[in-house]
Structure 1
Amino acid sequence: MRNSPNVSPLHKQVTREQVAALPKVVLHDHVDTTGARGEADVEAAVRAGVRALAADGVVYAELRISPELNLDVLPLDKIVAAAERGATSVEGIDARLILTAMRHASHVADVADETLAAYPRGIVVGFDLAGPEDSPAPHAETLEKLRDAYIPVTLHAGAHEGVDSIAEALRLGALRLGHGTRIFEDLTADIDGIGAGPVASWVRDRGIVLEMAPALEVEMGVVDSYEDHPFSLLQQLGFTCTLNPGQSTVSSLTDEMMRLVETFDYGYDELFELTRTAMENAFAPVPQRTAILAQRILPAYDELSGAYNEDASFSQLADPS
């Protein structure tokens, strides 16, 4: 267990300028390659998405692409190779890819097979099943094939549908939940406080990552307003919460952080915790995660904490003991 950074409450005034400059981590963002007519277009779309994240201070990102969008003009392996080139062509950011298949379409097994083929190259780091939150059970064999190859899987669940969709995603091996916000439907409240039902307890106690994107989820109708979003509550209850744009066209990560600051009174220590949580739960190998945390994230926060409080050191929190 790690304590929160020792930043004096007198120095928790958070400015957008400073937040924009802080190193950030994104685990859930989509690149739209609709309309791409060739490899150059796919590469350019991914490069533009990566550049936008880098401009927002993101130092590590996992971008989702849906190869199915371009199968009318390119074979699957060419789409992924072009996306890999786009992801690795921007300096200052470590960008990886998650291949997304739409569960209601006919190419889930094909995208999974391409994930298996690309995974050893190290840019594609996982597989995602998205689309309408119908049961993913028809794809159980495909998901088992990925698990047998030790390829991480994240499933969209708990956004449009409730706890049952989350439970099924867990049974099918999801290590992270795309959105997962409706886990709050498995919470209870009484005079003893807030309790967790069986699904919520499993998600919390096993550290299953919630890839939440509050602004996008408000737009999707998951909750009525940002003030109603359960992000802060779930984090306080011990859930592994990550903050994401979901779609950078809707919101940047700086925007999301500032909304937490303005709505739920987050300070730099809470923003650091969110960033570290995201980095520690990325699908990249541990050595890369550790290096980015130590070399890119901690120095920036140490500089910040030193400016605010000589006794505060975020780097002390890197020790997991």
Structure 2
Amino acid sequence: MSVTLTPSDDVASDGTAALVASLPKVLLHDHLDGGLRPATIVELAEQVGHELPTTDPDELGRWFVESASAGSLELYLETFAHTVAVLQTADALRRVARECALDLAADGVVYAEVRFAPEQHVEQGLSLQDVVDAVRTGFDEGMAQARADGRPIRVLAILCAMRHLDRWQEVAELAIANRDAGVVAFDLAGPEDGFPPSRLSEVFGTLRRAHFPCTLHAGEAAGLDSIADAVAEGALRLGHGVRLADDVGADDLGDRLGLLAHWVRDRRLALEVCPSSNVQTGGAASIAEHPVTRLLRLGFAVTVNTDNRLQSGTSLGRELTLLVDEAGWTLADLEHVAATAAAHAFVHQDERAALIDTVIRPAYAAARGGRHRA
């Protein structure tokens, strides 16, 4: 199953960024502690006495991007020491969550699932529930302000457990307990290699019995075994998942999918692909060579995401623009991944359908009409 492209869909031009900015976007993989405004980090660090590499917001923003571009996931993750350090109070979490919602809305995101690990924010006495409550309040405030500004957005939460720690069960139960308070899924974050989901398989039994979904980081720093393990434990989406391309070969007859690749594609397990982040951590050589384009053409349920906007110096609009300008994506591709993301959001089917039918499709139809008139 491949995407049909036509010449009239070609959007690669000087106006790409403006066109992409005007389109509604759906974001499924974005980390709260990877999306802080540099100026906010400076202010919060001063309040708690945390030393930063620099207190100039512009220089700090550049430092995060440069430090996260060292070529490995482990070095990339080291930059979070600074963002986590300033997110240890309810007020800080609330502020950053509010700013997150506003920044995403300004980027044209209409629906977002933002993930965070509550256990990383309890060093100053907050409980795990306190963390969830503070973030939820911030999202609500940001959504209300964005709506008043004419940029409506819905922001929901995914709770992460850290792979190298042993609070998976506790975080899973916390997520389930907050399913009516804006928490829509469970995830594992942190160092992927050496910490497979099957390490604590009983946690995923708890999730299945509660009919509560999970999306698992897999196929980012580790390979096919990591993806296979996530799938076996019930992941409905794969965080990154780009190493799935390793299970796609080619011969004289064309592309040949392995058993795992077929399983993921045929069962429509969505891939939460984060192109710039993957380039930074060594998962792809460039945007032009990133496997996301091949996976899209092969009919996988591809979505495009930001991962960590601070560390990658990016936005969803920027990620999509890069794919157009450097990988030859078209307006049809952008519509396809937006609708795919909406279709795999962790909300009820009627809400997903409404997002596609009343927001995404009409906006893209208007964009095509405007280009034809031009």
Calculate the TM-score normalised by the size of structure 1. Answer: 0.91
Distance 1:9 1:268, change over 3 A: closer
> Does the CA contact (< 8 Å) of 1:22 and 1:300 recur in 2?
yes
Give the 4+ runs in structure 1 shifted more than 3 A.
Answer: 1-7, 9-14
Report the counterpart of residue 316 of structure 1 in structure 2.
none
Once the two structures are TM-superposed, the CA of residue 193 in structure 1 deviates from its matched residue by 0.9
Report the counterpart of residue 315 of structure 1 in structure 2.
none
Deviations 1:93-136 (A, max 9, x none): 01010001111112211111110100123x11100011212222
Gapped regions of structure 2 (runs ≥ 5): 34-82
Greater alpha carbon shift after TM alignment, 56-65 vs 71-80: 71-80
Once the two structures are TM-superposed, the CA of residue 8 in structure 1 deviates from its matched residue by 2.6
Report the counterpart of residue 8 of structure 2 in structure 1.
8
Residue 119 of structure 2, aligned match among 61, 65, 68: 68
Greater alpha carbon shift after TM alignment, 205-214 vs 223-232: 223-232
Distance 1:305 1:225, change over 3 A: closer
Matches of 1:145 and 1:299, distance apart in 2: 40
Once the two structures are TM-superposed, the CA of residue 291 in structure 1 deviates from its matched residue by 2.1
Q: 3-state SS of the aligned residue for 2:239?
A: strand
Matches of 1:292 and 1:188, distance apart in 2: 36
- Describe how 1:1-321 pairs up with structure 2 within 5 A: 8-9=8-9, 13=13, 15-32=16-33, 34=84, 35-72=86-123, 73-89=125-141, 90=143, 91=147, 92-121=152-181, 123-133=182-192, 134-249=195-310, 250=312, 251-309=314-372
Matches of 1:210 and 1:44, distance apart in 2: 30
Distance 1:290 1:10, change over 3 A: closer
Matches of 2:199 and 2:252, distance apart in 1: 42
Once the two structures are TM-superposed, the CA of residue 6 in structure 1 deviates from its matched residue by 7.1
Report the counterpart of residue 44 of structure 2 in structure 1.
none
Once the two structures are TM-superposed, the CA of residue 226 in structure 1 deviates from its matched residue by 1.8
> Does the CA contact (< 8 Å) of 1:158 and 1:165 recur in 2?
yes
Once the two structures are TM-superposed, the CA of residue 213 in structure 1 deviates from its matched residue by 0.2
Matches of 1:37 and 1:176, distance apart in 2: 29
Distance 1:11 1:198, change over 3 A: closer
> Does the CA contact (< 8 Å) of 1:211 and 1:241 recur in 2?
yes
Matches of 1:283 and 1:10, distance apart in 2: 31
Deviations 1:149-198 (A, max 9, x none): 11110111101110010001110000000000000111111111110111
Matches of 2:170 and 2:96, distance apart in 1: 22
Distance 1:3 1:263, change over 3 A: closer
One-letter amino acid matched to 1:113: E
Distance 1:111 1:165, change over 3 A: same
Distance 1:280 1:7, change over 3 A: farther
Greater alpha carbon shift after TM alignment, 7-16 vs 182-191: 7-16
Once the two structures are TM-superposed, the CA of residue 294 in structure 1 deviates from its matched residue by 2.6
Q: 3-state SS of the aligned residue for 2:175?
A: helix
Gapped regions of structure 1 (runs ≥ 5): 311-321
Distance 1:292 1:10, change over 3 A: closer
Report the counterpart of residue 317 of structure 1 in structure 2.
none
Once the two structures are TM-superposed, the CA of residue 293 in structure 1 deviates from its matched residue by 2.1
Once the two structures are TM-superposed, the CA of residue 309 in structure 1 deviates from its matched residue by 3.3
Q: 3-state SS of the aligned residue for 1:195?
A: strand
Distance 1:208 1:114, change over 3 A: same
Larger RCO: Structure 1 or Structure 2 (Cα < 8 Å, ≥ 6 residues apart)?
A: 2
Distance 1:170 1:6, change over 3 A: same
Distance 1:156 1:11, change over 3 A: closer
One-letter amino acid matched to 1:174: A
Matches of 1:11 and 1:132, distance apart in 2: 37
Once the two structures are TM-superposed, the CA of residue 241 in structure 1 deviates from its matched residue by 0.6
Calculate the TM-score normalised by the size of structure 2. Answer: 0.79
Matches of 1:10 and 1:159, distance apart in 2: 30
One-letter amino acid matched to 2:17: R
User: CA RMSD, aligned part only?
Assistant: 1.9
Q: 3-state SS of the aligned residue for 2:211?
A: coil
Distance 1:232 1:81, change over 3 A: same
Once the two structures are TM-superposed, the CA of residue 10 in structure 1 deviates from its matched residue by 7.2
Matches of 2:358 and 2:327, distance apart in 1: 29
* Percent of paired sites with the same residue: 39
Once the two structures are TM-superposed, the CA of residue 70 in structure 1 deviates from its matched residue by 1.0
Once the two structures are TM-superposed, the CA of residue 40 in structure 1 deviates from its matched residue by 1.6
